[in-house]
Structure 1
Amino acid sequence: MPFANYKFPEGILDHARKEEIVHRTTDLFVEYFGEAVRPYTMVLVEEVADGGWGRADEILTLEKMGLPPGRT
């Protein structure tokens, strides 16, 4: 079963963008593995609380990335 797990800062994606990610990721798996994988493809879009993730030993926030909180 193809599986993709995306994590985004909380509040930057609205429902339509999440849906687009699911559709486009599913289409990508179908392109690689064939139409038979479509019903078995799982895409998980998770939101991480602001400041709940980091990179290169630094906690990242929307403010540090120059993004307003709750952006959609």
Structure 2
Amino acid sequence: MPFANYKFPEGSIDAARKEEIIHRTTTLFVEIFGEEVRPYTMVLVEEVADGGWGRADETLTREKMGLPASA
């Protein structure tokens, strides 16, 4: 089963953008593996709490990423 897991800072992505990511990722998997994978493709779009994730040994926050504070 093709699977993709995207993580975004909490509050930085709206429902329409999540839906677009799911559709485009599914289309990509179908292009690579064929139409038969569509019903088995899973795309997980998660929002991670501010400061709850990191990269290259650094905790990332909305402020460090140049994003406005969440509402």
Q: TM-score, normalised by structure 1?
A: 0.93
1:2 is aligned to: 2
Give the distance between the partners of 1:47 and 1:10, measured in 2 at CA. Answer: 5
Q: How does 1:1-72 map to 2 (within 5 A)?
A: 1-70=1-70
When the two structures are aligned, how many residues end up with a matched partner? Answer: 71
Q: Where in structure 2 are there 5+ consecutive unaligned residues?
A: none
Q: Where in structure 1 are there 5+ consecutive unaligned residues?
A: none
Report runs of 4+ in structure 1 exceeding 6 Å deviation. none
Give the distance between the partners of 1:12 and 1:70, measured in 2 at CA. Answer: 8
Root-mean-square deviation (CA, aligned residues, Å) is 1.2
- CA displacement at 1:5 relative to structure 2: 0.6
Aligned-partner residue type, residue 69 of structure 1: A
- CA displacement at 1:70 relative to structure 2: 2.8
- CA displacement at 1:69 relative to structure 2: 2.1
**Deviation readout 1:8-56 (Å, 9 max, x if unpaired):** 1110000000000000000000000111110110000011000001112
Give the distance between the partners of 1:33 and 1:4, measured in 2 at CA. Answer: 14
